[in-house]
Structure 1
Amino acid sequence: MKKVSFAEFGGPDVLHLIDAEEPHAGPGQVRIAVRAAGVNPVDWRIREGQILGAHPTELPSGVGQDAAGVVDEVGEGVAGVEVGDPVFGEGTGTYAEFAVLSAWVRMPEGLTFEEAAGYPSVVETALRIIREVGVRPGRTLLVSGASGGVGSAVLQIARERGIAVIGTAGAANQDYLRGLGAVATTYGEGWVERVRRLGGVDAALDLAGSGVIRELGELTGDPRKVVSIADLDAPLHGARFSGTAGSVPDALAEAALLIALGKLHIPVEKSYPLADAAAAHVDSQAGHTRGRRVMVV
């Protein structure tokens, strides 16, 4: 089969499309014929060797953890899924023609494989950081860098839970944020005062890692009310860095329910063939995403 791999840590140029042996489902796993794989910031952080403590990586290594496809192999002890079922979930080495998933859920009706591949990690992350930041219904959450995949999920989940959201993003994404129920403003010079004019903030999430932890702590009045998924130095400012996944199966089940009810939709901004994995990582690292980027098999 074809898969994307890297044999050394480094920039996007270390990614190569290679021929590899097919993986097989072990106990508690399923294998899928991959139709699409999500592109996440954690993918290129692993490729650069940034987070080896949280993600030990043996070289050469595959790339990717999110995927959608058709089950073609069911491991021992697995119930409730059969060969031929369309699913999306999390596994390893998902930028490939076949991948093994350790957590999955059946795809809701009407969802495309490309769309489905964009949900697993971002919804798990969104649910986790909303819980960790402790914001309650009727309160206001500030989301810095709100237009990407995690931000799109946070805004919609918060809206469903009765949490007001102020979101920052580039000028081109202001209407997008408003469409997801947020009060929108731009980042850049003067952004703190623009947020203050919009009202008080009870908690804040940093999704972009753009060096704003101190300001978010000032806006909330307490850096302990700030959670970042993108700034490894957040604890130096009294905030929290969240990088450890919670229950992925529970998150996937909630995602599937919200999607089926029409309460969660994350658009696909751009798709790439496996051969263009390096370009996908370049674009992901540049930021300014509206929704999700996915690899298509």
Structure 2
Amino acid sequence: MKAVGLFRHGGPDVLQVIERTTPHAGPGEVRIRVRAAAVNPADVLIRSGRTPIRQRGTEPVLPGSDVAGTIDEVGPGIGTGLAVGDEVMAMINPSRPAGGGYAEWVVLPGSWVVPVPTGASPAEAATLPLNGLTALHALDQLRLPPGSTLAVTGAAGAVGGYAVQLAKAAGHRVLVDAAPGDVELVASLGVDVTVPRGPGVAERFRALTDDGVDAVVDAALIGAPLLAAIRRGGSLAYVRGMPDHPAFEREAARRGITPVMAYVHAYEGQRDKLDLLRRLADQGRLSLRVADRYPPEQAAQAHRLLEAGGVRGRLVIEF
């Protein structure tokens, strides 16, 4: 089968199309003929060597955490109602021995797989699992009662956009920051108030409340400066490692704010969580945004564009 991987870490040009043995479904597993695999910042970290994923012997490293396609093989004892011919999507952990989703076929436990949203193309469906589950884990950890005021940074991006829409679906008031060119985009997500992006954003958020927002989802990784936006007793969810984390933790404690980290792999195999995202997309409450599509041979170009910044939606590799 065709896959996209790397034999050494580095820039986008280390990605290459390779041939691997086509896998088969074992007990409790399904095989997916992958039609689309999303390109995420996590893939850039894997490719560049900034994650603990390393090459195993002569086997290549395969990035890719989101796939969508068609089940074409079912192992014994699947027990989840999945069948050959089903159009499905899934999140993958690229650190597993078989690697990630940049491949024509992947084999996964049935509990990791759900149907695609109604009417969604494989490219659209592939944009949802990783980023949607990251946003969902962040909000689940915040445990906000309906009617809370939540600020979201990076709302024009994939995780931030899903955080906005999940928060609105949960009945929260949502404030976001945005650059001038993204105001129309974030408005389409259903935000309540948009403030200008940039220095002083915490003060702009706080000015919209009596004593500060109840919580922040920091998808833009602004970090410690956002603590000034949050009321005492509030919380902040962040989606990747925080710069100068010890200092951030100390300042949060001084202000009486609880920081939590969204760790998407906590939801691996929790089919109910991914199926919740599917149902919300079916209802039109989550937007599936594809920025562009590339064949496997142009995976390096997709990585270059993602690293350059400013991509709205997800780039997708189509097999």
With over 3 angstroms needed to count, the CA separation of the structure-2 counterparts of 1:23 and 1:134, relative to structure 1, is: same
Q: Structure 1 stretches of 5 or more lacking a match?
A: none
- For the Cα contact (< 8 Å) 1:90–1:101, is it kept in 2? no
* Aligned mates of 1:154, 1:261 — CA distance in 2: 16
The superposition leaves residues 158-178 of structure 1 with CA deviations (integer Å, 9 ceiling, x where unpaired) of 111111111123221111111
C-alpha displacement of 1:257: 1.0
The superposition leaves residues 87-122 of structure 1 with CA deviations (integer Å, 9 ceiling, x where unpaired) of 111234311211223311112331111111111111
With over 3 angstroms needed to count, the CA separation of the structure-2 counterparts of 1:100 and 1:192, relative to structure 1, is: same
C-alpha displacement of 1:138: 1.1
C-alpha displacement of 1:249: 1.3
Alignment match, 2:194: 184
Instruction: Tell me whether 1:83 sits opposite 2:84 in the alignment.
Output: yes
5 Å-filtered alignment, 1:249-260, equals 249-260=271-282
- Say how many residue pairs are matched: 293
C-alpha displacement of 1:57: 5.7
5 Å-filtered alignment, 1:225-240, equals 225-233=235-243, 235-236=245-246, 237-238=248-249, 239-240=259-260
Aligned match for 1:216, one of 207, 212, 226: 226
Instruction: Tell me whether 1:296 sits opposite 2:306 in the alignment.
Output: no
* Aligned mates of 1:120, 1:17 — CA distance in 2: 24
* Aligned mates of 1:244, 1:114 — CA distance in 2: 21
- For the Cα contact (< 8 Å) 1:170–1:187, is it kept in 2? yes
Which residue identity lines up with residue 85 of structure 1 in the other structure?
D
With over 3 angstroms needed to count, the CA separation of the structure-2 counterparts of 1:69 and 1:234, relative to structure 1, is: farther
- The answer to which of 122-131 and 98-107 deviates more is 98-107
With over 3 angstroms needed to count, the CA separation of the structure-2 counterparts of 1:73 and 1:234, relative to structure 1, is: farther
* Aligned mates of 2:233, 2:302 — CA distance in 1: 34
Which residue identity lines up with residue 206 of structure 2 in the other structure?
R
Alignment match, 2:154: 145
Aligned match for 1:127, one of 127, 136, 144: 136
Classify the secondary structure of the residue corresponding to 1:35: strand
Alignment match, 1:99: 106
The CA RMSD measured in Å over matched residues stands at 2.1
With over 3 angstroms needed to count, the CA separation of the structure-2 counterparts of 1:15 and 1:154, relative to structure 1, is: same
- The answer to which of 101-110 and 151-160 deviates more is 101-110
- The answer to which of 83-92 and 286-295 deviates more is 286-295
Which residue identity lines up with residue 176 of structure 1 in the other structure?
L
Instruction: Tell me whether 1:175 sits opposite 2:197 in the alignment.
Output: no
C-alpha displacement of 1:127: 0.9
Alignment match, 2:4: 4
Aligned match for 2:214, one of 202, 216, 234: 202
Instruction: Tell me whether 1:243 sits opposite 2:263 in the alignment.
Output: yes
With over 3 angstroms needed to count, the CA separation of the structure-2 counterparts of 1:168 and 1:28, relative to structure 1, is: farther
Alignment match, 1:28: 28
Which residue identity lines up with residue 64 of structure 2 in the other structure?
G
TM-score (norm: length of structure 2): 0.85
Which residue identity lines up with residue 21 of structure 1 in the other structure?
T
Aligned match for 1:161, one of 145, 170, 176: 170
Alignment match, 2:306: 284
* Aligned mates of 1:42, 1:13 — CA distance in 2: 17
* Aligned mates of 1:227, 1:122 — CA distance in 2: 14
- For the Cα contact (< 8 Å) 1:142–1:166, is it kept in 2? yes
- For the Cα contact (< 8 Å) 1:149–1:266, is it kept in 2? no
* Aligned mates of 1:150, 1:264 — CA distance in 2: 11
* Aligned mates of 2:244, 2:155 — CA distance in 1: 18
C-alpha displacement of 1:86: 0.8
C-alpha displacement of 1:72: 0.9
* Percent of paired sites with the same residue: 38
C-alpha displacement of 1:244: 4.5
* Aligned mates of 2:130, 2:264 — CA distance in 1: 11
Instruction: Tell me whether 1:69 sits opposite 2:81 in the alignment.
Output: no
Classify the secondary structure of the residue corresponding to 2:166: helix
* Aligned mates of 1:108, 1:226 — CA distance in 2: 30
TM-score (norm: length of structure 1): 0.90
The superposition leaves residues 165-202 of structure 1 with CA deviations (integer Å, 9 ceiling, x where unpaired) of 11123221111111111122232234333333333311
Q: Structure 2 stretches of 5 or more lacking a match?
A: 93-98, 250-258
Alignment match, 1:267: 289
Alignment match, 2:13: 13
- For the Cα contact (< 8 Å) 1:280–1:293, is it kept in 2? yes
